[in-house]
Structure formats: C-alpha cells, structure tokens
C-alpha cells in the first residue's frame, strides 16, 4: 500500500524538497498550503509539473480545523511545516504570529489525536527557542564569534540548553514545540521535534527576514545592495536541505525510538561559518560587486549558534554529508535559473495556479 504523506506548508522551501524526495520513491504527497508566502506558488507548480497526480495540492489553512481534519484523515504520516517564519513579522503582529504557529499546531495535533490510529507527526521548530544565548561567554576570532567553553566549541549547543524564548516568534514556536513534545507524553502520539539551525538550498526564495543565504544569493545575482544586521561576525552552522530531508526520513524509520524527543538539527561544527564568510563565498560565485551595508543588531539575534547534533546521530546514525562550499554552489546553480539572465523556471506554470489572497496562516516554512 502506497504511503500518503501530509505536508503542511508543503509548497515552501523545506516542504517542496521533502515532497520531491517522497514522490521520487513512489509515495504520495498531500500538500496543505495557503500559498501566502511569496514565490511558493512556483514550488507548487514545479511539483505538479514534475509529479502529476502523485502530488495533491489543497489550498487551505492550518487555522481552518475542518481543512486540517480532512487532510489528516487521509495521512499515514504528517510533516507539519506551516508557520509564520520571521522574527521581524512577529514583532509587527504578535497575535497573528501566535495564532499561526501555536494555534495552527494545536489544530494539527488535535486532528491527529482524534484518529483511531494516529499517524506520526514531525514538527520543525527553531534554535530561537534558546533565546539570544547571551549567557554564553564568547570570543571574537578570525572565524567569527566562538564560545570560550571548549566543550561547546567542539560540539555545539545541545538540547540540554535551557529554553529562553526571545521575541514573539521564539515564544510561538517554542509553545508549539512543547505542545508537540507533550502530546507524545500526554496522549501517546508518535511525535518528533526538530530544532533547526540555518537550512539552505534549492527552492528557497529567501528574504531579508528569513532564508538569509538564499537572500544574499538573490541580491548578489541582481546586483542589489545587501544589508547585514550586526557586525557580520555571527557564527552559524549551515545544513543543506537535502541533508535535512535525510534527517526526516531517518527519524521516520526510527519513529519508535525518536518519538517524544527533541533534536537539534543543523550542520554542526564541521559546517559553520560567519555571516561575512558566507557572503564572501556568495559574491565570489556570483561575481557580484553588490554594495554591502551594516545595520543595527536585531532583537534576539544570536552571536553564536551551532547545533550539537550528537543526540540525533546516536538515535539514527544520521550525519550531514554536504559541505558548505558544495551546498552553496548547488544553491547558486539553482538560483541562477530563477534569478539570473533569461530565468523562467516555473513562473509560467505558476501563473496558472489558482489565485488565492495572502491568508493569515498555513503558509510555507
């Protein structure tokens, strides 16, 4: 029997990459997405064109309990990615941010809980649940900010780090994160939380507020000014989206062991770089002379965040395979097809998708 996977926010960057992998191995995918995030309709059109009837697109919202129940009823596995994804947007409209991220997640969990045999739920959380990590003692090095403590410098930030929600976005995603975890303890659901670091790769239409590597690439290709918030020495671990997809599949294969657990997922210490180092690589690949400016630090920004993925590796054997330079090259190759000279990609097919207004929630992560 063919597995049917529900992906909320499945037209988004991460959702469309996961959908591609599942469809390529013969599984069915049901996408629930309101297509509110800019350019995700292009991903939806690409999935439709590439996989035909194997993928079903339901234009709807996770804030609509009836739509969620109808989709969950048909699912053998639920990947819940639909979210409001930007700290800046959460500061402008905290109530909408809470409704989408927390209430929307509860709608999904309740729909799953009501099933006689509930399907497993995989939820994408964020490293922002740890706050700005100002308690870490840092030193500014040639490689950017680095922890003074050797253990963290060697392994990264673990799941044992205290939660310290900072910004409405951190609060809403953190609340959802804890609900997903607790529904495993309280109701016996098979649920897994991934606290993700910087994910990048093809099908990411990055903006200044979210998806910064793709945003840099897009601006560089167009020769447009690039703004860096802070001093650019912030250190991040980068994870190529294909490796993230492998992590989802590894957790699904080991669901009995992984259920009820939270995992930090990122590139780890082997795949970390400063923002300025990444920008330098982007400009080199795109031969860009785009002007770079510096702005004030943004609320809750972490000067250092690198994931300790050791727990997830111990549960599943998963490790990142794509090095940062290799991954950025793949992003550059794809981005040139959608933003470079003569780019067309999915624009024509996307224009034929049903037009919907930018709704409140249920968009793509």
- Angstrom distance (rounded) from CA 205 to CA 12: 9
**Active-site annotation holds for 169:** yes
Backbone φ and ψ of 200, nearest 5°: -145, 160
- Angstrom distance (rounded) from CA 282 to CA 286: 6
Both tokens assigned to 357: 């207004």
Q: What does each C-alpha distance from 47 to 29, 78, 205 come to in angstroms?
A: 10, 18, 16
DSSP string, 256-269: HHHTT-EEEES--G
- Angstrom distance (rounded) from CA 157 to CA 307: 5
Both tokens assigned to 236: 């991040």
Catalytic residue among 130, 169, 200, 305: 169
- Angstrom distance (rounded) from CA 41 to CA 10: 10
Both tokens assigned to 315: 């549960």
Both tokens assigned to 156: 């990264």
Q: Are the C-beta atoms of 128 and 85 separated by less than 8 Å?
A: no
Residues marked active site are found at 169
């Amino acid at each position: 029997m063919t597995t049917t996977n529900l992906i909320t926010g499945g037209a988004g960057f991460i959702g469309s990459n996961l959908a591609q992998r599942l469809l390529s191995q013969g599984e069915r995918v049901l996408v629930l997405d309101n297509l509110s995030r800019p350019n995700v309709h292009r991903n939806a059109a690409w999935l439709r064109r590439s996989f035909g009837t194997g993928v079903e697109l339901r234009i709807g919202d996770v804030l609509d309990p009836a739509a969620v129940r109808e989709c969950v009823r048909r699912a053998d596995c639920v990947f819940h990615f639909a979210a409001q994804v930007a700290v800046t947007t959460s500061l402008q409209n905290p109530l909408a941010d809470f409704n989408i991220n927390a209430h929307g997640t509860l709608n999904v969990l309740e729909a799953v809980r009501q099933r006689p045999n509930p399907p497993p739920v995989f939820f994408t959380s964020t490293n922002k649940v740890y706050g700005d990590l100002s308690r870490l003692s840092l030193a500014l090095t040639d490689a950017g900010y680095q922890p003074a403590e050797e253990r963290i410098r060697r392994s990264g930030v673990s799941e044992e780090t205290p939660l310290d929600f900072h910004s409405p976005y951190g609060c809403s995603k953190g609340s959802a994160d804890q609900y997903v975890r607790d529904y495993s303890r309280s109701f016996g659901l098979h649920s897994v939380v991934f606290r993700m670091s910087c994910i990048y790769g093809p099908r990411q239409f990055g903006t200044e507020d979210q998806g910064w590597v793709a945003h840099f690439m897009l601006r560089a290709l167009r020769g447009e000014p690039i703004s860096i918030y802070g001093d650019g020495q912030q250190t991040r671990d980068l994870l190529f989206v294909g490796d993230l997809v492998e992590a989802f599949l590894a957790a699904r294969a080991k669901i009995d062991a992984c259920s009820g657990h939270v995992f930090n997922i990122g590139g780890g210490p082997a795949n970390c770089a400063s923002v300025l180092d990444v920008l330098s690589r982007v400009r080199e690949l795109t031969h860009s002379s785009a002007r770079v400016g510096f702005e004030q630090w943004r609320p809750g920004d972490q000067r250092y965040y690198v994931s300790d993925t050791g727990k997830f590796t111990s549960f599943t054997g998963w490790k990142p395979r794509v090095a940062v330079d290799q991954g950025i090259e793949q992003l550059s190759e794809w981005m040139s097809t959608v933003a470079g000279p003569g780019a067309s990609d999915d624009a024509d097919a996307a224009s034929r998708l049903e037009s919907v207004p930018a709704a409140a929630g249920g968009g793509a992560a």
